[in-house]
Amino acid sequence: MSGRIALLAGGTGLVGGACLRALLRHPEYEKVHLLTRRDVPELAHPKLSQCVVVFNAPETLKLPACTDVFCALGTTIRKAGSQPAFRHVDLKFPSPLPA
């Protein structure tokens, strides 16, 4: 192990789930911190640490130290209910994540 630590948001979705599985089996990653809005016990894995956060309250986000950030958060206008709500999830939510 070379000590890489991933921070992943959106790991419960289609794209993020594929990213999560790739990170968990990647030998260079010793830890994956998953930011979610809900506890997801079925994703339990020895390398995984789940952090339940309120994406809508970025001032409350306490992000764990990491070497790499992956963001697969996203929605659709239909799911979000409106264009502004869609933009909020797709553009605002990722913005407090480290660049």
CB of 44 to ligand NAP, least distance (A): 16
The two tokens of residue 54 are 């309120």
Q: Which of 48, 55, 70, 97 binds ligand NAP (CB under 6 A)?
A: 55
Phi first, then psi: give them for residue 13, nearest 5 degrees.
-95, -175
Q: Write out the E strands in 1-99.
A: 4-9, 29-36, 48-52, 68-71
**Cβ proximity of 1 and 30 under 8 Å:** yes
Torsion of CA 22, 9, 76, 25, to 10 degrees: 10
Q: Which of 30, 68, 69, 90 binds ligand NAP (CB under 6 A)?
A: 90
The reply to whether 50 sits near ligand NAP by the rule CB under 6 A is no
The reply to whether 37 sits near ligand NAP by the rule CB under 6 A is yes
Binding mask 4-23 for ligand NAP (x = CB under 6 A): ------x-xxxxx-------
Residues that bind ligand NAP (CB under 6 A): 10, 12-16, 37-38, 55, 72-75, 89-90
